């Protein structure tokens, strides 16, 4: 069991736990959601070449990505600086075909 830690409840966590009535229910809800999320990340993603990975790291380097920013990754890739060996068109098409779960998993594996 992990130690207890304080956590800030921003709007997403408040919305997620709105129906829970006590600390144990809130904790359970957060942990179930995290477990499911980690499983989604493990089962989804986008296969990337090294050049594609470097391009996306450059694009994502601004920091935390909101859901709408994740959906805009194809546009950001079109505007990114050139990377040696990158087939920009192929990467844009790959991102456009990917599901939202695939994009989120990809962003997570890139560390963002």
> Domain spans of the chain?
11-43, 50-109
Question: How would you write the pLDDT of the chain (112 residues) with one tens digit per residue?
Answer: 677 888 899 999 999 999 999 999 999 999 999 999 999 999 999 999 999 999 999 999 977 799 999 999 999 999 999 999 999 999 999 999 999 999 999 999 999 9
Task: Please state whether the predicted TM-score (pTM) of the whole model is above 0.85.
Answer: yes
> How many Å from the N-terminal Cα to the C-terminal Cα in the chain?
26
Query: Tell me, what's the pLDDT at 82?
Result: 92
Query: Tell me, what's the pLDDT at 6?
Result: 86
Query: Tell me, what's the pLDDT at 64?
Result: 78
Query: Tell me, what's the pLDDT at 36?
Result: 97
Query: Tell me, what's the pLDDT at 102?
Result: 98
3-state SS track over the chain: CCCCCCCCCCHHHHHHCCCCCCHHHHHHHHHHHHHHHHHHHHHCCCCCCHHHHHHHHHHHCCCCCCHHHHHCHHHHHHHCCCCCCCCHHHHHHHHHHCCHHHHHHHHHHCCC
Query: Tell me, what's the pLDDT at 63?
Result: 78
Are the beta carbons of 81 and 20 closer than 8 angstroms?
no
């Amino acid at each position: 069991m992990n130690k207890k830690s304080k956590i800030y409840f921003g709007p997403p966590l408040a919305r997620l736990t709105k129906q829970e009535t006590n600390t144990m229910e809130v904790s359970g809800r957060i942990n179930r959601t995290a477990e499911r999320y980690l499983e989604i990340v493990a089962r989804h993603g986008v296969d990337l070449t090294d050049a594609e990975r470097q391009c996306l790291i450059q694009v994502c380097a601004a920091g935390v990505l909101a859901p709408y920013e994740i959906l805009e990754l194809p546009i950001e890739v079109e505007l990114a600086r050139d990377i040696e060996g990158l087939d920009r068109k192929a990467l844009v098409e790959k991102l456009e075909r990917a599901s939202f779960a695939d994009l989120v998993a990809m962003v997570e594996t890139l560390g963002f």
